[in-house]
Copies of this chain bind each other. A is one copy, B any other.
Amino acid sequence: MLNALVKGLSCFACGAPHDHRVLQTVCTKCGMPLRVDYDLRSFEPNGPPTLWRYSPVLPIDRKHAVSLAEGFTPLLAAGNGILIKDEARNPTGSFKARGMSLAVSMARALGAEALAAPSAGNAAGALAAYGAAAGLPVTVAMPEDTPPAFIEECRHYGAEVHLVPGNIADAGKWLKSNGPRNAFDVSTLKEPYRVEGKKTMAYELFEQLDEKLPDVIVYPTGGGTGLVGMWKAFDEMQSMNWIGGERPRLVSVQAEGCAPVVKGFVEDSSKTEPWPQPVTEAYGLRVPSPIGGFICLRALRETRGTAIAVAEREIVPAAEELARKTGIDVCPEGGAAWAATRTLRSSGWIKPDDKVVVFNTGTGLKYR
């Protein structure tokens, strides 16, 4: 059932090895996220247009996947060499479906009886949906000021929803103290497989751009799983001789009211510090202390990328501007990425002939 090419798990921070045939959370030595290591052999993507096209670099056989046909989202033109990767087209309307499909598939395969996670919104909906598809009970905790559409979405799938004062970090603490004892924790980067789902965004770009990578990738960053995943995927592609040593310059976009990755990058720190009073209505960006912050910083530096914070007042107008220009349903997080792209273009950091991919991470519908 598991992919025979998986060699094992190792810690992103200290490298300590872990067994992939049992349920794992974070590194048992240092508490940091675990990475899946493969015996990488070049392959041709095949099968229906979902992320399961990339089975040889995924931890579980697609026949045993909990799948709602996630991934292989379109890449749509926005003019001037800019392409939008429209993640709103995933199940439950966001890129969170990718990670949850993998996490829930592996959790079920390795014997989990129930699932839980804190969420800024979209991850909760995705977990509720994949839990329903897997036949496993789900408990989620979200900040109490999360817009109602995110909350009702979870209930539609039959999940138990707890609303907690504060932000996603507070929701996580609440769940740790009060959540169901038998539930496996699928929090961002606190189990090894969500990043494996998210990395498929990079594989898709490579396939959709006729076996080339873009020059720049602009990515709205909350927990940073996608950034970490794509960076990992590029290394995998190089190991398989799909690409050489060149890399797309990764750009991490955050909101001025919650920008721990930007602060860490600007201050040349090796890790992020908890953001004291996180405030932004782009809820997916309201992640004050991402456990994978240090990996994001490494990815930005190694790819000669950058990090940029967007003013709150710019976010919604930028989302509208992009929607009116393209017909894409842009969410606030995607709006932040678009505003950052404009800034980086006018500052010259993005050059006129750069091929740029901007991520719209979810649908705007849940904000209405």
Contacts and interface: CB of A to CB of B under 8 A. Distances in A.
A368 B366 CA distance: 8
A364 B130 CA distance: 16
Interface stretch (A6-14, A187-195, A323-331): A323-331
A53 to B, nearest CB: 11
B327 A91 contact: yes
Contacts of A323: 129, 132, 156-158
A89 interface: yes
A326 B153 contact: no
A326 B66 CA distance: 10
Contacts of A149: 149, 365, 368
Nearest to A208: B48
A324 B319 CA distance: 32
Contacts of A132: 323-327
A158 B326 CA distance: 11
Contact of A327 (B49, B50, B130): B130
Nearest to A320: B156
Copies of the polypeptide in the assembly: 2
Interface string A243-269: 000000000000000000000000000
Contact of A86 (B69, B72, B320): B69
B368 A324 contact: no
A367 to B, nearest CB: 9
A329 B49 contact: no
Contacts of A330: 156
Interface residues of A, number: 42
A133 interface: yes
A148 interface: yes
A161 interface: no
A157 B327 contact: yes
Contacts of A365: 93, 149, 153, 363, 365-366
Given A89-B91, A129-B329, A156-B368, 19 more contacts: A66-B327, A68-B86, A68-B327, A68-B328, A69-B74, A89-B89, A93-B93, A129-B327, A132-B323, A132-B326, A148-B368, A153-B368, A156-B320, A156-B330, A156-B364, A157-B323, A157-B324, A157-B327, A158-B320
Interface of A: 48-50, 66, 68-69, 72, 74, 76, 86, 89, 91-93, 129-134, 148-149, 152-153, 156-158, 319-320, 323-330, 363-366, 368
Closest 9 CB pairs of A and B: A133-B327, A69-B74, A49-B49, A129-B327, A158-B324, A132-B327, A152-B368, A149-B368, A365-B365
29 contacts: A50-B74, A66-B327, A68-B328, A69-B76, A89-B89, A91-B327, A92-B329, A93-B93, A129-B323, A129-B327, A132-B323, A132-B326, A133-B326, A134-B327, A148-B368, A149-B365, A152-B368, A153-B329, A153-B365, A153-B368, A156-B320, A156-B330, A156-B364, A157-B327, A158-B320, A158-B324, A363-B365, A365-B365, A365-B366
